[in-house]
Amino acid sequence: MAIEKRICSIFKSPRKNEMYLYVDKKEGLERVPEELLSVFGKPQPVFDLLLTPQRKLAREDIVQVLANIEQQGFHLQMPPPPEEDELMSLPDELLRFNDPL
């Protein structure tokens, strides 16, 4: 049976930018494995949010988030993959600007 709605607490990692942990607000961090918390760092509260299958999240599939919280007690949102180095996307003329003549 799919979860219809859940109030979640969202925490950010102090060690990794844009890494977030979603948990059921009532359970808090009690079902999050110690091994994960040791890597994640001390969870820093961000906000609480009502999650429903109709809600859109910027980078996560809401149905998967709800399923993960139901099954394992948490959902870990990883940081986005690193962008291609911005310098490499500049035109060659700009990249050679400071080259000796």
Helices (H) and strands (E) in the chain, counts: 3, 4
Provide the pLDDT confidence category of residue 80 given band limits of 50, 70 and 90.
Answer: confident
Q: Are 20 and 83 in contact (CB under 8 A)?
A: no
Provide the pLDDT confidence category of residue 4 given band limits of 50, 70 and 90.
Answer: confident
Give the pLDDT of residue 96. 53
Q: Which residue has the higher pLDDT, 85 or 41?
A: 41
Percent of all residues in the chain with a pLDDT value above 70, rounded to a whole number? 77
Order across the sheet with 44-51: list the strands.
44-51, 6-12, 20-24, 75-77
Query: Could you report the per-residue pLDDT of 32-67, keeping only the tens digit for each?
Result: 999 999 999 999 999 999 999 999 998 999 999 999
Concatenating the DSSP letter of every residue in 53-88 gives TT---SSS-HHHHHHHHHHHS-EEEPPPPPPPPGGG
**What pTM did the predictor assign?**
0.77
